[in-house]
Amino acid sequence: MGSQGPTEIRRHKLLLVGTGGNGIGVAAELKQNGIDDFRIISRHSDFGGAWHANGYPGCYTDVPSMAYQMTRKIRGDWPERFASRAEMGRYLRSIATENDLYAHTDFDTEMLEAEWLDGELCWQVSTSNGVYLARFLLTATGYLDEPNIPKIPGLDSFPGRVFHSSLWPADYTGSGDVVAVVGTGSSGAQIVPALQKIASRVVVLQRTATYILPRGDLEYTDAERHDYKTKPDKHADRRNEARKEYDEFWEAMVLAKDTSYSQRMGAEWHAKIDEFGLSPALQKMVTPDVPFGFRRPIMSDDYYRAIGESNVDFVAGSLHSVDGGRIKASTGQEFNVDAIAMATGFKFLGATIDRIKRRDGVVISKHQQGHLRAYKAVTPAMCPNLFLIGGSAPNSMCWDGFFPQAVYPPYVMEMIKYMDAKGIRAMEVREEAEIAWKRKADSILEKSPFSKDPNSFMMDATGHNKAIFPGGLNDMRDELSTFDPTAYDVLA
């Protein structure tokens, strides 16, 4: 970050918001297409996105590294089947370095508001580090970037440490402390086993039970890493095998193309839960009250083992209130604790579309009144030259969080090249095209088990799934393979 004053205006052809995997992929695509007049801003202090921000103990990917990596840098020498946060962060920073992206980036710079200037045919973006003007605005801020911290009576009076999982203090290990972990989703299921080994006690508060499946984690041997690095065919086979497995799950379960899949997976879970030696009471508490697939399944090899240990108090209830150093659960149980880790998830899509005003001056999310949408999950109406990439766009979620960086940037580049060739300064998608695409997406997703839980973070205020892309990876690629100018209006 430079030393510019907060009122300085910087002008660029393109402004990109976000430094996670999708932001890196977009920026690399711009450079490869000869576009150097762009700037990247991020509220974080380095590249990596979630893999930079989330420093909690036990943080790792829940998709095998063979499958979960960027197409522009396929790596064969991962040390483990599931990469740690540190390993994934190094991988992403290496791609940023190889594409000279640090020179284009202002870190510790948060987008506060963006509005379209008709007179200058550009976006004015106000940030914590000054104002940027850009003809094109691209956001790649991720869909799990804004912490969800529930309002708990008395929480402000707690004398110890309180922090969200994504804001874990770098100097805190939990060693010797009594730590309350609020939430048992993906982050909670990773934090609890790690803390159980070093904390004096761990109090786990579970609001809702979900299915936790074994990861089957392992470290690759030196020989395996050597083979995957030096034998591209062998590595490609393993990568294709992993991707096929996850594609089949997504198609069958999430898109409801195999109605028996939920029953089979549920039966498999029930058959395995006995293997962990949990008490009957504890086993009952962790058994979900919905069929498999109604909530996002979680991957862990050691969560069930950890909650059965003698230094863990498991509570089938939420955090109700805090009184000094004492917490009270919704079940009435009370505990004295030294620290509270809020593994309470995120506000899906974060605050990005709450900070961008349409050309008519109305904030995107306010205009859409809870039914969040964007044409092809990339361009919202009345927003000229704006592209929502990956997790910043409604209905952009797929099992491979890096896949959007392979298919969205070419779509963006095709539109930019079309505009430059035609001498067009500004285009925006027609609202009827946006609404028609969302209507089609809703009709597909209403069949998904992931759309059955009204309390899910994936559901919008109107009861529709705002998260999932209405198709598999191939469908997403096909959808973004062609730019149709007839869906857009030319402004100038």
Q: What is the pLDDT of residues 263-286, one digit of tens each?
A: 999 999 999 898 898 999 999 999
Question: Are 129 and 196 in a shared domain?
Answer: no
Instruction: Give the mean model confidence (pLDDT) for residues 286-311.
Output: 93
Q: What does the pLDDT read at residue 352? A: 92
Specify if 294 maps to a domain.
yes
Highest mean pLDDT among 188-197, 218-227, 253-262, 265-274: 188-197
User: Residue 128's closest CA among 107, 106, 109?
Assistant: 109
In this structure, the answer to whether residues 446 and 413 fall within a common structural domain is yes
How large is the average pLDDT for residues 415-434? 97
- Give per-residue pLDDT as tens, 57-80: 999 999 998 899 998 898 888 888
Which residue range forms the structural domain that includes residue 438? 9-146+347-490
90 belongs to a structural domain: yes
5: confidence class by pLDDT, cuts 50, 70, 90: very low
pLDDT exceeds cutoff 50 at 181: yes
Return the percentage of the chain with pLDDT > 70, whole number: 99
The last residue of a domain, from among 280, 315, 342: 342
Shared domain check, 321 and 181: yes
pLDDT of residue 390: 85
Task: Quote the CA–CA distance of 128 and 271 in Å, as a whole number.
Answer: 53
Same structural domain, 333 and 356: no
In a domain, 381, yes or no: yes
Q: Comparing C-alpha atoms, which of 372, 355, 369, 362 is closest to residue 434?
A: 372
Domain boundary among 342, 363, 386: 342
> 272 and 159 in one domain?
yes
Question: 59 and 84 share a domain?
Answer: yes
Comparing 74-78, 177-181, 361-365, which segment has the lowest mean pLDDT? 74-78
Compute the mean pLDDT over every residue in the chain, rounded to the nearest whole number: 93
Does residue 234 belong to any structural domain of this protein?
no
Q: How confident is the model at residue 25 (pLDDT cuts 50, 70, 90)?
A: very high
pLDDT in tens, 96-115: 999 999 999 999 999 999 99
**Paired tokens of 469:** 């892309």
Average pLDDT over residues 173-192: 97
The pLDDT score that the predictor gives to residue 350 is 81
pLDDT band at 4 (very low <50, low <70, confident <90, very high): very low
Q: Rounding to the nearest 10 degrees, give the CA dihedral for residues 382, 383, 385, 391.
A: -130
Q: For the chain, how many helices (H) and strands (E)?
A: 13, 19
Q: How many structural domains is the chain composed of?
A: 2
324/378 same-domain check: no
Q: What is the pLDDT of residue 3?
A: 43
Helix (H) / strand (E) element for 262: namely helix 261-273
3 state SS of 310: coil
Residue 378 lies in a domain: yes
Mean pLDDT within 402-427:
95
Burial of 325 (0-12, 13-18, 19+ CB in 10 A): middle
User: The CATH number of the domain where 203 resides is what?
Assistant: 3.50.50.60
Quick one: 250 and 330 in the same domain? yes
Stretch 142-168: mean pLDDT: 93
Q: What is the pLDDT of residues 335-356, one digit of tens each?
A: 999 999 999 998 888 889 999 9
On whether the CB atoms of residues 177 and 200 are closer than 8 A, the answer is: yes
User: How high is the pLDDT of residue 7?
Assistant: 63
CA distance 134 to 161: 41
CA dihedral 142, 145, 146, 152 (to 10 degrees): 130
Tell me, what's the pLDDT at 237?
A: 87
Residue 2 domain flag = no
**Mean pLDDT of the region 236-252:** 89
Q: pLDDT band for 1, please (50, 70, 90 cuts).
A: very low
304 shares its domain with 428: no
**360 and 303: one domain?**
no
Whether residues 37 and 57 fall in one domain? yes
pLDDT one-digit tens code per residue, 37-51 = 999 999 999 999 999
Answer yes or no: is 30 within a domain: yes
Do residues 76 and 161 share a domain?
no
Is the per-residue pLDDT at 425 higher than 50?
Answer: yes
Of 308, 342, 376, which marks where a domain is finished? 342
pLDDT of residue 361: 97
Q: Is the pTM of this model over 0.95?
A: no
| Residue 223 belongs to a domain | no
257 neighbors 448 (Cβ within 8 angstroms): no
In degrees, rounded to 5, the angle at the alpha carbon of residue 207 between the alpha carbons of residues 204 and 213 is 75
86 Cβ neighbours under 8 A, 6+ residues apart? none
The proportion of the chain whose per-residue pLDDT surpasses 90, expressed as a percent, equals 78
Q: Which of 416, 387, 381 is nearest to 404 (CA)?
A: 387
